[in-house]
Amino acid sequence: MEVSKTLILSKKEIQSFLNMEKTFEVVEKVFKAWGEKNLIMPAKVTLSLGEYLKQPLHTGWMNAMPAYIGFSDYAGIKWVGGFKDNYKRGLPYIMGSLILNNPESGEVLSFMDASCITELRTGAATGVAVKYLSKENEKVLGVIGAGVQGRRNLEAIKLVRDIKEVKVTDIRKEAAEKYAKEMGNKLSVRVKAVKTNEEVCKNADIIVTVTMADEPLVMKRWLKPGVLIISLGSYQELEEPIPLSSKKLIVDSWEQAMHRGELVKLVSMGKINQKNIYAELGEIVAHKKLGRENDTEIICVCLIGLGCHDIAVAGYVYEEAKRKNLGEYVEI
């Protein structure tokens, strides 16, 4: 039997048609399927590239993220990592590739760049969290981290909430100022670069932390009643009392949250276990559990990233690229 050829897709080709609106649609559908247990996704496996060695040569990491999506009948794996010094090389922090397979035969349908998909699906996941967990009249957004993800998160949130004011800060002042100018013009919203994390959090209805930090950036005393705070970093970004005392503590995947991201230190110290988790976000999207129940409860969401989002979006990308005659077919 003849093996089908593999479609190679570049970042530029994917960027030519993949947008936040479509990505949001796919990500929300996947969250529902995850909550209904209608897909298969083992927890991601992380390969440290030196951060835990006594004499590390590198500080980056790589994740292997496989999944099978039942509703679209695609399987695949994303191989993606974060590299802290990439900005010095003129490269994005996140670098990755994705393999899409035929789940019946195992044939490689497509090999594609994963950076664009990662950017958009990560922002979209935050947008879904905001849709189901924030108050509907939220006006003020605080963003800590003015990189690519800080931008995509704002784009996704604007799809579901009529944000009027955005406050942003970054360890690099020029990055925050550039973000304010670019995103203010792009989305026609007032964006202000501020000097401190406390300024970002003061009177904010929604707070998003999306950095490379491994220390508390947000203190509980800065939070007003009813705030929704979303942590997306690979390490700690919040003061411990925030996840420990929030009315609802929500994750995208508890199995993954135990090993990476905001809650790892608390898990290792025995301060948090599965009983402390109110829900996985998919359970709320699938209406298995309630989301926000009043305007005063503080809700903390810790998103590590789901490989099922990547594979589902990649399935859409593959189909759309074929329709548009994009990419190059090769025999592998």
> What tens digit of pLDDT does each residue of 36-91 get?
999 999 988 989 887 667 777 787 889 999 999 999 999 999 999 988 888 889 88
Between CA 301 and CA 283 the distance in angstroms is: 13
**Domain tally, the chain:** 2
Write the DSSP symbol of residue 84. Answer: T
User: 148 and 23, same structural domain?
Assistant: no
User: 226 and 93, same structural domain?
Assistant: no
User: 212 and 145, same structural domain?
Assistant: yes
Q: Do the Cβ atoms of 69 and 306 come closer than 8 Å? A: no
Question: Taking the C-alpha atoms of 33, 34, 40 and 46 in order, what is their torsion angle to the nearest 10 degrees?
Answer: 140
**β-bridge pairing 140-144 and 248-251:** unpaired
Q: Determine if the pTM surpasses 0.85.
A: yes
The pLDDT, as a whole number, for residue 51 is 65
User: 259 and 140, same structural domain?
Assistant: yes
User: 111 and 60, same structural domain?
Assistant: yes
294 falls within a domain: yes
User: 192 and 74, same structural domain?
Assistant: no
Residue 242 has pLDDT above 50, yes or no: yes
1 falls within a domain: no
Q: Do the Cβ atoms of 124 and 116 come closer than 8 Å? A: no
Residues 6+ apart with CB under 8 A from 71: 29, 33, 38, 39
Catalytic residue among 12, 37, 54, 78: 78
User: 154 and 84, same structural domain?
Assistant: no
Q: Do the Cβ atoms of 160 and 131 come closer than 8 Å? A: yes
User: 286 and 148, same structural domain?
Assistant: yes
User: 259 and 164, same structural domain?
Assistant: yes
Residue 112 has pLDDT above 90, yes or no: yes
User: 288 and 180, same structural domain?
Assistant: yes
User: 220 and 183, same structural domain?
Assistant: yes
Question: Mean per-residue pLDDT for 180-195?
Answer: 98
User: 100 and 200, same structural domain?
Assistant: no
78: annotated active-site residue: yes
Q: For residue 56, what are the domain limits?
A: 6-117+308-330
